[in-house]
Structure 1
């Protein structure tokens, strides 16, 4: 398990809110649910119109999430990368708290 970033490139300010909502529904289809989400996640904004989705997951799950994101953000490049140092550190802690580890 480690922290990854799913970068969605070319998202302008007008698209940002709608794109975040689409991506959020990929990870959490039911907004108000009991218990933790399958994959701890959060958003940030990167450079030059990048929407950055942080996730804490296994390599296999990270690849699956990136593919699911690709399917909902057609027209935007989606790149999976290891998280930048210091970004999304809270996701590992969230996983530990929610999964008792």
Structure 2
């Protein structure tokens, strides 16, 4: 999903001018970002949640050279889909596979 996609959905559902819809989309994305930064998580019911997870320092292999490389500790944002989203996504996937098999 992109900011443009979100802007288009706002325009379609509200009839709002494109410039205002773009600003609203940016504000929504900014609010989600701020919530993740301040609390370490953000959840949308029926969709899923974003959680900040710490990563440990480790040694990895450079796939090109095979050389060992040290990776610093850090943080990443993980997404966990809600059970309803998983179920709906699986139903959509099965439907797409059946449609592809017929065509």
Query: Aligning the two structures, in what range does the TM-score lie when normalised by the shorter sequence?
Result: under 0.3
**TM-score for the superposition, normalised by structure 2:** 0.26
- Structure-1-length-normalised TM-score: 0.27
Larger Rg: 2
